[in-house]
């Protein structure tokens, strides 16, 4: 049976199932291509941003780091670092205690990481849904095709390949199409989920490096020294 002959034998329900699966396939491909582009761009820009971040860790200027982060707006690491540095610089310019800003900087980093993960996850839930329901939609088409085959037998009063071939072909094509739609969606979802785990690890790493750098700089140590000296004097006086 040719594809044209198959379409002629497909009932309304079977045709609706196939159209639904075809639309899901097109949307799935669109989401996969979009997420692939986003992940690739984020990885490339984050790799380029590493050089500027390394300079900052070895004594670079904060404004240069912020300028580099602005040039890599699609980078997940740049977004996290920019949020932390902006918070730290805001506290320092306001005349606040650099040591006391540790909690604020940490909170800003955590919020930026959560927001970045939400943005990177957009569309993955849809892929997971397609991978889960596409085989069941195909199975529904299979059941409808078998029903059509039995109706053909009932209407003719006899069996045979010429009678049931249309319904059985409709049933098998629906199942195959459902699996065909589900496989790319599941593979892409698992692939992107693994990349998300790597992105989360990278953001945690740069967050730790940024906090260690910001709160071990000379001006913070200079603030700590009088506090420690005062505590030591107080302890000595108490002992006396």
Global pTM value: 0.74
**107 vs 166 pLDDT, higher one:** 107
Domains: count for the chain: 1
Whole-angstrom distance, CA of residue 165 vs CA of residue 154: 14
Asked whether the beta carbons of 150 and 167 are under 8 A apart, the reply is yes
Q: What DSSP designation does 90 have?
A: H
Lowest mean pLDDT among 3-12, 132-141, 158-167: 158-167
The phi, psi pair for 98, rounded to 5°, reads -60, -35
Per-residue confidence (pLDDT) for residue 2, from 0 to 100: 57
User: Which range marks the domain in which residue 52 is found?
Assistant: 3-239
CA–CA dist 34, 200 (Å, integer)? 20
Contact of 105 with 208, CB cutoff 8 Å: no
Express as a percent the part of the chain with pLDDT over 70: 74
Instruction: Count Cβ atoms within 10 A of the Cβ of residue 105 and give its class: 0-12 exposed, 13-18 middle, 19 or more buried.
Output: buried
d(CA 173, CA 141): 8
* pLDDT value at residue 114: 92
């Amino acid at each position: 049976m040719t594809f044209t002959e198959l379409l002629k034998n497909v009932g309304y329900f079977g045709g609706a199932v196939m159209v639904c699966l075809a639309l899901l396939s097109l949307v799935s491909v669109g989401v996969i291509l979009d997420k692939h582009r986003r992940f690739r761009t984020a990885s490339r820009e984050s790799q380029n941003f590493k050089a500027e971040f390394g300079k900052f860790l070895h004594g670079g200027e904060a404004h240069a780091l912020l300028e580099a982060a602005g040039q890599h707006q699609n980078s997940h690491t740049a977004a996290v670092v920019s949020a932390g540095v902006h918070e730290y610089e805001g506290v320092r310019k306001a005349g606040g205690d650099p040591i006391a800003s540790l909690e604020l900087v940490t909170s800003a980093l955590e919020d930026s990481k959560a927001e970045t993960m939400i943005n990177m996850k957009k569309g993955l839930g849809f892929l997971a849904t397609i991978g889960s329901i596409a085989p069941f939609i195909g199975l529904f088409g299979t059941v409808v095709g078998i029903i059509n085959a039995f109706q053909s037998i009932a209407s003719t009063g006899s069996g045979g390949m010429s009678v049931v071939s249309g319904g059985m072909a409709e049933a098998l094509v629906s199942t195959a199409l459902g699996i065909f739609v589900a496989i790319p969606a599941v593979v892409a979802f698992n692939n992107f989920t693994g990349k998300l785990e790597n992105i989360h690890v990278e953001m945690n790493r740069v967050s730790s490096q940024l906090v260690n750098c910001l709160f071990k700089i000379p001006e913070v140590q200079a603030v700590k020294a009088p506090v420690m000296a005062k505590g030591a004097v107080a302890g000595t006086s108490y002992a006396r």
